[in-house]
Structure 1
Amino acid sequence: MPFSSDFHNRIDTYETRRAVSYQLPDTPTSCYVTMRDGCKIAVDVYVPDGAPLGAKFPTLLLFTPYFRRFKLKAGSTEIPNPNTVKFSDYFVPRGYCVVVIDVRGTGASFGTRDGFRSPLERQDSVEITDWVIAQSWSNGVVGATGISYLGAASDFLASTGHPAVKAIAPLFSVWDTYADNYFPGGMQCISLTHIYDDLMKGLDQDKREYLKNYKYYASPDFEGPMPVDEDTDASLVAEAVAEHQSNFRQTDFMADLSYREEGLPYDPDYSSATISPYSYSKGVREDVAILSVSGWMDGAGYANGAIARFLTLDKNPRHLILGPWDHGARIDVSPWRKDETPSFSVLGCVLRFFDTYLMDTDTGLKDEPAVAYYKIHEEAWAEAESWPPQDHTLKLHPNDNAQLSQVQAKGILSYQATPETGTGFETRYERISGLDSRNYYFDWQGRSDLMLSWDSAPLVDDTVLAGHAILNLTASFDTLDAGLFVYLSEVEADGSERYITEGILRALFRSEAVTPDTIKINWPYRTYHRDSAKPLIIGKEQTIRIPFLPTAWTLSKGSRLRLSVAGGDKDHFKKVPHGKLPEITVNLAQTHLVLPLQESVEI
């Protein structure tokens, strides 16, 4: 059972009382580490200042494709390491060495990226770890962390089984790159692909004109990747960047991965599984501690990734934190937030975790519930032993009078999908590609007007949703394929519409499958394999279960819950099918919405 929590206060108290015994060095030392194939990988090393001679520390590794450091113009006061500065600045004074690595084919490292999260990077991480534990400042204990790409790199390192790796904290990162990121529900998120590709051009190829749209990398004081200490004339970094010109292109690469786990046309062994942590998860030793952190507006499915990691690695010491955050917890996404900057210290939470498992400190963490989650609108934390945090569900039925109720309806209702439906450009999808979103779904009002929608009666009590809602849609279509986009909104008593969450499914992939041991999820699972793709039969009813992205949201007394169905999101997703969008004819008697509730209620 879930229960109210002082989780936020516990983290604040721990962080306040935790000793800060060292200083951050003015600059890190940097060098090249040579890999098995001769490729030189650039690393920055931050060792705590003020330690006794010969002191040894646990080390945190951060593997980044976003530059370990930028070279700055003379006299600049810019932060040279915007991607990782928060980690080095925070952990080094608290007794951790931090090593930041330009992954192969990026920054000052040599090599060429042959794909997104190349398997070569996973092999490199073993050799980097070997190098780290051989250094005089290392006590032989290693952890890994980071946000997004860096978080997945933590998973990859742990999956190698390296004996020095004792704990990882993948933050805001995927478990399945296909379903959690680029193809949620089998639908290609084309906005992410194109925006991220421009970012890669700006960084990998040092084409700085592409960086002007990315707040964290747009400074005119940035002059490409920082050379390592030995590269005094910057000739080596110039050679490395020259090699990066042959890096893969994200738009082309992702187009070749439209079927999950199907290899590239020229390399059958290189697939979406190759670039996803789940496919290597059996290599993670059971004694490796894992902290998974995500937020309710964390991209296309990163919260699913955090939950899937937690549920799958169920023999490991593991913890799951789900907060009111976007990708990287840069913004508190709640419409009722006190400030856009989150008040919760994610780094304090990560510190307590690493102190527990890398420094063997009794922090009390091991005695606490494994899951902490934040309830938006109620603006409160809760805790539970697992996910979902409760067993209560409520079934609501749509009727032909635009209402949702517990009474099963009869008849049919038709809706012609329109290509004009969209979600705007302050959504969960912008931040994951590096854009600076701050007011999430502020313009949601009226967007459901073009959708097929049903509203519940005004709620008689506050009602807490916590988990994955599921729409059981029974409908026929007049096209051979369809993109199905479903939304939940809270319509407050004054008529204000608040986006809660959404679900996406390409009808081609409507067939469900048994979950594999590497993805132990408790919501409908699809393989998205080529042999699972079945065209619709025009006019024939299909029952399709569409899971919504997870949430914890308290609907206020007097508000209505709105369910909306659309045939596209023109702002983010590929149009399916290419021509006329479908007319969707809903069998009302066989369609219902299943809500995960904290307590049993009537609506």
Structure 2
Amino acid sequence: MAERGFTTIENEWITLKDGTRFAARIWMPDGAEQDPVPAVFEFLPYRKRDGTSPRDESTYPVFAGAGIAGVRVDIRGSGESDGVIDGEYTERELADACELIAWIAAQPWSNGAVGMMGISWGGFNSLQVAALRPPALKAVISIASTVDRYNDDIHYKNGCHLSAQLSWAATMLGYQSRPPDPALVGERWKEMWIERLAGEPFLMEEWLSHQRRDDFWRHGSISEDFSSVEIPTLVIAGWADGYRNTPLMAVEGLGDKAKALIGPWVHKYPHFAWPKPRADFPAEAIAWWNKWLRGEDNGIDRLPQARAYILDAIRPALRRDSDPGFWVAKDSWSPPKMQCFYVEQFGRLTEGMPIPHAPEHPVYLRSPLDTGTASGEWFTLKPDAELAIDQRLDDAGSLTFQTALLAEDHDYLGRPVVTLALRCDAETANLCARLVDIHPDGTATRVSFGVLNLAHRNGNAAPAPMSKGERTTASLTLDACGYRFRKGHRIRLSLSTAYWPMVLPPPEDPGLTIDIASVGLGLPLLGTHELIDVKQPDDPDPLPKYIEHVPGSTKRHVLRDLSAGLTRYEIHEDTGLFEHPGTGLSTRQLREETWSIARDDPMSMSGISTWTCDMQRSGWFVRTVATSSIFCTAKDWIISASVIAYEGETEIFRKMFEEKRIARDLM
């Protein structure tokens, strides 16, 4: 079919019933008013004008060329849309999305069928809006998202407090402090900007007020009721990202309504993600939309239920541009059969089940509190030191068990499970388990990991303190993986009581006494599968090129003060200054973040994150500086934040969020 011409509508105002004006960028196929077309809707706080414009311009023109309109809308208080943001995935946000879908479906150029898609925030709200069943929404593509907001987002993980919660709160404070573009909103820009600066929340206050899996987190978690989603859903993720569990959880929960695709990628769209190989996302998405928004019988509904890239004995690297491996498909996904391992009397990881009623073999483990500096970031955007590096650094502070040299390849797909019995002399402690591939030269690759706040050992809704000194059995489900351990390699299980800075420490550091005779490891066998090819994009470099004024840079440092016993983890991220050639708008974001801890004092933990965001064009310059911090006592989390705004060299706004002490709830 010949590619269709299209027009890009740089800004379309959509006014909802409450009078709020939303800003949309629309890619409109030619002749749509005479021959109505389906539309794909994306709803984000990340600014269509500058924040997401590169990826939008790599995707929506391709959709429009296939006769599918693209409608990219900024949520309240973002970009050029009116109002002030009120949180993540709030009832108001989802209601706005439903009203916008109805608006799209009612346009003369629309055939009445709307799809919704997005990555991260847009992947989240796509699933959440689908659960509300707006009549015009017919299909969803959700990338790097979650069905469980408590356990598989950036805030908490099995009751453990993720440092990414501060990082993300700081990011949102910086992002939301930016003004609309005067070229679109006119003289109102400064009034809108001041309204945002004065009204934007410090989101971490709300997140920290919900340390258990309560109604706040159940809202928007479609795992609470998978049956609420009745439309076809394509769920995509990457093994190098924190959001790797969702595709398999979605097909287990949604059944035949869902298809899963998992590649080797970081937190990016599959047609420009790293590590390679990539996937031709635009082509697959067009087939998906044509089936469910046009009724075209193109076979996309007959795809295998789960497709995954099996990483083949990958190695840590300064930059992972490409990961070896192979694509597999499973026509029907079901929880996999587990291959079981136990720790025999000499500490070797051996295939089989732990011996029932074996004599207790206690080993005391108390990891240095800076164990975890090789973990990388939970939320990954680049295939560099954001990914886990060689695990020998962290294994030095861990209790490790490994197999003999493998006599054959071992292939796995799914979520590993660790079970063990332990004792603790405090009400709670953190336990981290890592599945590691030991190469013949000793290089250690993290394959999967999981963490557990032991007060949450029986669930996240109603945690219970440990009984001091009493033997307790715990089960820990690790993140999903698709991996081949090669012949001649070893499988290692690494246990630690710290995983900093990814996971913040509990108030006490008692260590754990682990009965190694009780340790069991279940690995999910790949099982019956078909080897397949997943088409790579024809265009190997689909992102548009903007005008570079200042190059970007990335740095990560771990500094250990051996005299003071203090470790600092420092992050520097500079996007560089780039100008959009069509709008003349130049933007730059700078992140400076530092975490600090003493190796033997959990109360010494601190984190400070600062975002500096610049926008400019000829004769106009604005800057915001947003800083967020977290400290702790044995009883409280202590958080604070500030935002300062400049027009040119003049400070025009300053807001200090009052320091808040929020009681620690068994964490």
**Matches of residues 139-538 of structure 1 in structure 2 within 5 Å?**
139-181=111-153, 182-190=155-163, 192-206=164-178, 224-226=179-181, 231=185, 234-245=186-197, 246-262=199-215, 271-279=216-224, 281-284=226-229, 286=230, 288-299=231-242, 302-314=243-255, 317-329=257-269, 340-377=275-312, 379-388=325-334, 390-391=336-337, 393-399=338-344, 401-406=346-351, 408=354, 410-424=359-373, 427-431=376-380, 437=384, 440-511=387-458, 526=459, 528-529=460-461, 532-538=462-468
- Contact in 2 for aligned 1:91/1:97 (Cα 8 Å): yes
Q: CA deviation at 1:309?
A: 2.4
Are the counterparts in 2 of residues 144 and 169 from structure 1 also a CA contact under 8 Å?
yes
Q: What corresponds to 1:21 in structure 2?
A: 3
Pairing partner for 2:38 from 58, 75, 82: 58
Give 3-state SS (helix, strand or coil) of 1:298's partner. coil
Deviation, structure 1 residue 380: 0.8
> 2:446 aligns to what SS in structure 1?
strand
Please say which of residues 196-205 and 410-419 is displaced more in the overlay: 410-419
Pair 1:588-2:531 in alignment: no
- Go from structure 1 to structure 2 and tell me whether the alpha carbon gap of 1:20 and 1:567 turns closer, same or farther (over 3 Å shift): farther
SS of 2:500's equivalent in the other structure is coil
Are 1:559 and 2:498 matched, yes or no?
no
| Structure-2 separation of matches of 1:157 and 1:354 | 17
1:69-80 aligned within 5 A: 69-70=49-50
Cα drift, residue 375 of structure 1: 0.6
Shift of residue 228, structure 1, vs aligned partner: 7.9
Assess if the C-alpha contact under 8 Å between 1:331 and 1:340 holds in 2.
Answer: no
CA distance in 2 between counterparts of 1:599 and 1:135 reads 48
Please give the per-residue CA displacement for 1:7-38, whole angstroms capped at 9, x wherever unaligned.
Answer: xxxxxxxxxxxx4512453x424232222322
Q: Secondary structure at the match of 1:239?
A: helix
Moved more, 501-510 or 356-365: 356-365
The secondary structure found in structure 2 opposite 1:244 is helix
Matching of residues 16-165 of structure 1 within 5 Å: 19=1, 21-25=3-7, 27-49=8-30, 51=31, 54-70=34-50, 81-82=53-54, 84-165=56-137
Distance 1:332 1:238, change over 3 A: closer
The AA in structure 1 aligned to 2:214 is: E
Letter in 2 for 1:589: A
Q: Which amino acid aligns with 2:173?
A: K
TM-score, normalised relative to structure 1: 0.79
Whole-Å separation in 2 of the counterparts to 1:128 and 1:496: 51
- State the 1:292 CA deviation: 0.7
Cα pair 1:184 1:504 within 8 Å, conserved: yes
One-letter amino acid of the counterpart of residue 196, structure 2: H
User: What SS class does the counterpart of residue 549 from structure 1 fall into?
Assistant: coil
Larger relative CO (CA 8 A, sep 6+): 1 or 2? 1
Structure 2 residue matching 1:427: 3-state secondary structure: coil
Structure 2: distance between partners of 1:488 and 1:323: 19
Residue 122 of structure 1: CA displacement? 0.6
Question: Is contact 2:432-2:497 (8 Å) kept?
Answer: yes
1:62 and 1:89, CA in 2 relative to 1: closer, same or farther beyond 3 A? same
Percent identity of equivalent pairs: 23
For these two proteins, the number of residue pairs brought into alignment is 511
- Consecutive unaligned residues in structure 2, runs of 5 or more: 313-323, 529-667
Alpha-carbon contact 1:64-1:102 (below 8 Å) kept: yes
Matched residues in 1 for 2:182 and 2:270: separation? 29
SS of the aligned residue for 2:246 comes to helix
The answer as to whether partners of 1:68 and 1:81 remain within 8 angstroms in 2 is: yes
Distance in 2 of aligned mates of 1:199 and 1:331: 25
Q: Closer, same or farther in 2 for the Cα pair 1:130/1:598, shift >3 Å?
A: closer
Q: Any gaps of 5 or more consecutive residues in structure 1? A: 1-18, 71-78, 207-223, 263-270, 334-338, 512-525
SS at match of 2:47: coil
- Rounded to whole Å, the distance in 1 between the matches of 2:52 and 2:118 is 17
* 8 Å Cα contact 1:374/1:382 also seen in 2: yes
CA 1:439 to 1:346, structure 2 compared with 1: closer, same or farther past 3 Å? farther
Secondary structure of the residue aligned to 1:158 is helix
Q: Cα gap change, 1:248/1:144 in structure 2, threshold over 3 Å: closer, same or farther? A: same
Secondary structure of residue in 2 paired with 1:321? strand
Matched residues in 1 for 2:221 and 2:157: separation?
Answer: 14
Shift of the alpha carbon at 1:320?
Answer: 0.9
Larger displacement relative to structure 2 (488-497 or 57-66):
488-497
Tell me the SS of whatever aligns to 1:362.
Answer: coil
Change in Cα spacing, 1:40 to 1:148, as seen in structure 2 (3 Å) is: same
Q: CA deviation at 1:129?
A: 1.3
Describe the superposition over 1:340-373 as per-residue Cα deviations: whole angstroms up to 9, x where unpaired. 4443223333222222222222222223321111
Q: Is the 8 A contact 1:419 1:570 kept in 2?
A: no
- Pair 1:279–1:406, CA change in 2 (3 A): closer
Could you tell me how far 1:389 is from its partner in structure 2? Answer: 6.3
Cα 1:154/1:84, change in 2 over 3 Å: same
**SS of aligned partner of 1:141:** strand
3-state SS in 1 of match to 2:171: helix
Give the 3-state SS of the residue equivalent to 2:475 in structure 1: strand
**CA–CA distance in 2 between the matches of 1:134 and 1:423?**
52
Partner residue in 2 for 1:570? 500
Residues 424 and 505 of structure 1, relative CA distance in 2, 3 Å threshold: same
* C-alpha deviation, 1:226, in angstroms: 3.7
- Aligned AA (2:351): Q
Hey, what does 1:539 align to over in structure 2? 469
Q: 1:306 to 1:23 in 2, by over 3 A?
A: same
- Displacement after TM superposition at 1:243 (Å): 2.6
SS at match of 1:252: helix
Contact 1:416–1:582 (8 Å) recurs in 2: no
Q: 1:236 to 1:283 in 2, by over 3 A?
A: farther
> In the TM superposition, what whole-angstrom CA distance separates every residue of 1:468-518 from its partner, at most 9, and x where no partner exists?
11101111112210111100001012211111000111100101xxxxxxx
Q: Secondary structure at the match of 1:589?
A: strand
Q: Which has the higher helix share?
A: 1
TM-score (norm 2): 0.72
Offset at residue 461 of structure 1 (A): 0.4
Q: Do 1:424 and 1:443's aligned partners in 2 also have CA atoms closer than 8 Å?
A: no
Q: Matched residues in 2 for 1:330 and 1:134: separation?
A: 31
8 Å Cα contact 1:486-1:565 kept in structure 2: yes
Pick closer, same or farther for the CA change 1:597–1:281 going to 2, 3 Å: closer
Would you say the 8 A contact 2:266–2:382 is kept in 1? Answer: no
Q: What letter is aligned with 1:304?
A: N
Residue type at the aligned position of 2:4: Y
Distance 1:146 1:35 in 2: 22
Whether contact under 8 Å (2:417, 2:523) holds in the other structure is yes
Distance (whole Å) between structure 2 residues aligned to residue 426 and residue 89 of structure 1: 38
